[in-house]
Amino acid sequence: NAGVTQTPKFRILKIGQSMTLQCAQDMNHNYMYWYRQDPGMGLKLIYYSVGAGITDKGEVPNGYNVSRSTTEDFPLRLELAAPSQTSVYFCASSHSNLLGAFFGQGTRLTVV
């Protein structure tokens, strides 16, 4: 199994551009999460989903949008990129907290 796959691994955006960070999991997990991690800081929850068609805001949702049309995929959309969105973005999924959450390897995004 591939686990949680994030694409792309690296990306440079210009201010005002838009992009979608992709996240896919092949473990049939209901729960999926998006986090961002600024240099030297902990992870901040952006959005999460408890199942297909259901999403909710986390701690820092402004400037982002998500959708969950399938169990496998949970894309994160950045509209009008700003330098403050320069960060490492992690996607995670879990079936239940009895087994913990699995994280992807991250997408390193730089907005210039």
Q: Of 34, 52, 46, nearest to 92 (Cα)?
A: 34
Nearest approach in angstroms of CB 42 to other proteins is 5
Nearest approach in angstroms of CB 104 to other proteins is 5
| Cα 57 off chain centre by | 12
Please identify, among the stretches 8-16, 18-26, 62-70, 102-110, the one whose residues bind other proteins according to the rule CB under 8 A. 102-110
Q: Of 24, 22, 25, nearest to 7 (Cα)?
A: 22
Which CB atom, from 24 or from 92, has the smaller least distance to other proteins?
Answer: 92
Q: Is 38 in the site for other proteins (CB under 8 A)?
A: no
Q: Is 94 in the site for other proteins (CB under 8 A)?
A: yes
Of positions 34, 35, 64, 74, contacts other proteins by CB under 8 A: 35
Q: Is 99 in the site for other proteins (CB under 8 A)?
A: yes
